[in-house]
Amino acid sequence: MAQMDVYEAMRTLRAVRRLKPDPIPRDVLSRVFEAATFAPTGGNAQPWRIVAVSESASKQRLGELYADLWRNYTKRFRLFPADMPADVRERTERTLKAGDYLADHFGATPVIAMFCFNPKNMAITDSEQPRPSVVGGGSVYTAVENLLLACRAEGLGCVLTTLLCEREPEVRKLLAIPDPWYTAAAIPIGYPVGRGHGSLIRRPVAQLVYQDSWGKPFQS
Amino acid sequence: MAQMDVYEAMRTLRAVRRLKPDPIPRDVLSRVFEAATFAPTGGNAQPWRIVAVSESASKQRLGELYADLWRNYTKRFRLFPADMPADVRERTERTLKAGDYLADHFGATPVIAMFCFNPKNMAITDSEQPRPSVVGGGSVYTAVENLLLACRAEGLGCVLTTLLCEREPEVRKLLAIPDPWYTAAAIPIGYPVGRGHGSLIRRPVAQLVYQDSWGKPFQS
């Protein structure tokens, strides 16, 4: 079993979009899935499932759907305005290139972990609020994050994607996902083509955490 | 800094509901919050914030709201039917007792991490689906899980709660949370009264992961 300090795993978990088609040993994959099972969920209901897709035809079809959605989603990011700062443009181009690679190779990833959820087994406490609901995700994305961290520890690349939710009816049909189960994320997993994981670009605590009341920065 | 294997942290991250009022050193708390910042979010937008509540009057009020919601939410679980198996009844009673403790002491927790989110900075790809949306949570609960795992590594007890979302307008007013920010979770954090973290009760991979298509168990 891969050993890695929990902070080290979190600090170096990148979105790895260039993945090799090489197969993943079954014991490695089992540990990654087991990590997901450890996650906390509301009432310990574990209202999620994974369909681990490695069969070629299904992956191919998911890849077609994904590439279509990706091209559509990124259209507006490709209109580089003339006054765009050079460094921002460069970073955007780099991200788009990695995303294009993923879109082109989605179906060749060794495993796509399709996370499903059952809203009937969730207490969705924000369902009455006049804004988009997120609380159901509290019993799914905790497990997703555990899976990503386990991939990191095992040297596997991976990236959390949700674009395929837009084509949920087709995805459900393809993978025989029954009522009342729906899709929350598709995570392609494979060994990295390049360096894979490494340092992150994130905002510091002082910008994201407040003390006692909104806007008062937390002093580290 | 606390060192702990990432699998060990996940495998022993319990919902710890009995928390001491003792203060948490600032450097420990800073590491826990920094762990949250490492989490992946859609487009790296980091559309979440934490209000770290340690001021007494605000905690007290949150505690009153929480206790009220908890009593209401658990009413139906306290009607033990006569034919309930003894072991199920015992486990339910144990969970209720720990939950009652949390509800009674919520306001005395040293820190309550109130996770907030901004739906305008999220690409909510499942917003058109005819079922509850969860995808917004994909950019919040990854950070929540990191925070919980960091608490585990630091020996801090914590538990993911979402009941307060039902009283979001009052919570937003209390903590001066502005438009368009909303609440996703309240996580009381403190040193455990008892043993705290330890072994978990979870379903095995074979029950939660399918191979290629729904219902075909993944063989570990």
Binary contact (A140, B136; C-beta < 8 A) = no
Q: What is the pLDDT of residues A74-119, one digit of tens each?
A: 998 888 888 889 998 998 899 999 999 999 999 999 999 999 999 9
Q: What is the 3-state secondary structure (H, E, C) of chain A?
A: CCCCEHHHHHHCCCCCCCECCCCCCHHHHHHHHHHHHCCCCHHHCCCEEEEEECCHHHHHHHHHHHHHHHHHHHHHHHCCCCCCCHHHHHHHHHHHHHHHHHHHHHHHCCEEEEEEECHHHCCCCCCCCCCCCCHHHHHCHHHHHHHHHHHHHCCCEECCECHHHHHHHHHHHHHCCCCCCEEEEEEEEECECCCCCCCCCCCCHHHHEEECCCCCECCC
CB-count burial class (<10 Å; 0-12, 13-18, 19+) for A201: exposed
Q: How far apart are CA A128 and CA A163, in angstroms?
A: 26
Q: How far apart are CA A175 and CA A173, in angstroms?
A: 6
| CB-CB neighbors (< 8 A) of B1 in chain A | 7
Q: How far apart are CA B53 and CA B123, in angstroms?
A: 29
Binary contact (A137, B132; C-beta < 8 A) = no
Binary contact (B137, A132; C-beta < 8 A) = no
Is A219 in the B-facing interface, judged by CB distances under 8 Å?
A: yes
Angle CA A126–A129–A135, to nearest 5: 20
Strand order of the sheet with strand B48-53?
A209-211, B48-53, B111-117, B182-190, B157-158
Q: Specify the pLDDT at position A47.
A: 98
Q: Which helix (H) or strand (E) is B185 found in, with range?
A: strand B182-190
Q: Specify the pLDDT at position A88.
A: 87
Angle CA A146–A149–A150, to nearest 5: 85
Is A44 in the B-facing interface, judged by CB distances under 8 Å?
A: yes
Q: How far apart are CA A98 and CA A109, in angstroms?
A: 14
Binary contact (B176, A134; C-beta < 8 A) = no
Residue of chain A with shortest Cα separation from B209: A50
Enter the pTM of the model.
0.97
Backbone angles phi, psi at B150, to 5 degrees: -65, -40
Cα A199 to Cα A195, A202, B32, B146, B186, distances in angstroms: 11, 10, 18, 16, 29
Question: Look-up: residue for tokens 């820190």?
Answer: B111
Name B217's bridge partners.
B210
CB-count burial class (<10 Å; 0-12, 13-18, 19+) for A39: buried
Are A111 and B149 contacting, i.e. CB atoms less than 8 angstroms apart?
no
Q: Mention every residue, 6+ apart, whose C-beta is less than 8 A from residue B164.
A: A125, B62, B65, B66, B69, B114, B171, B183, B186
| CB-CB neighbors (< 8 A) of A3 in chain B | 5, 7
Domains of chain A plus CATH, in order, are 6-208 (3.40.109.10)
Is B168 in the A-facing interface, judged by CB distances under 8 Å?
A: yes
Per-residue pLDDT of chain B (220 residues; tens, 9 = 90+): 678 999 999 999 999 999 999 999 999 999 999 999 999 999 999 999 999 999 999 999 999 999 999 999 999 888 888 888 999 899 889 999 999 999 999 999 999 999 999 999 999 999 999 999 999 999 999 999 999 999 999 999 999 999 999 999 999 999 999 999 999 999 999 999 999 999 999 999 999 999 999 999 998 8
Helices B141-154 and A141-153 pack at an angle, to 10 degrees, of 60
Question: Which two structure tokens, joined as six digits, stand for B105?
Answer: 């002491």
Interface test with A, best of B3, B5, B6, B213 (most A CBs within 10 A): B6
Radius of gyration of chain B (CA): 19
Backbone angles phi, psi at A189, to 5 degrees: -130, 135
Is B214 in the A-facing interface, judged by CB distances under 8 Å?
A: yes
Per-residue pLDDT of chain A (220 residues; tens, 9 = 90+): 668 999 999 999 999 999 999 999 999 999 999 999 999 999 999 999 999 999 999 999 999 999 999 999 999 888 888 888 999 899 889 999 999 999 999 999 999 999 999 999 999 999 999 999 999 999 999 999 999 999 999 999 999 999 999 999 999 999 999 999 999 999 999 999 999 999 999 999 999 999 999 999 998 8
Question: Look-up: residue for tokens 């307060």?
Answer: B164
Work out the widest C-alpha separation in chain B, in whole angstroms.
53
| ipTM for this prediction | 0.97
Binary contact (B33, A209; C-beta < 8 A) = yes
CB-count burial class (<10 Å; 0-12, 13-18, 19+) for A16: buried
Binary contact (A38, B209; C-beta < 8 A) = no
Alpha helices (H) along B4-132:
6-11, 26-37, 56-74, 86-105
DSSP B19: B
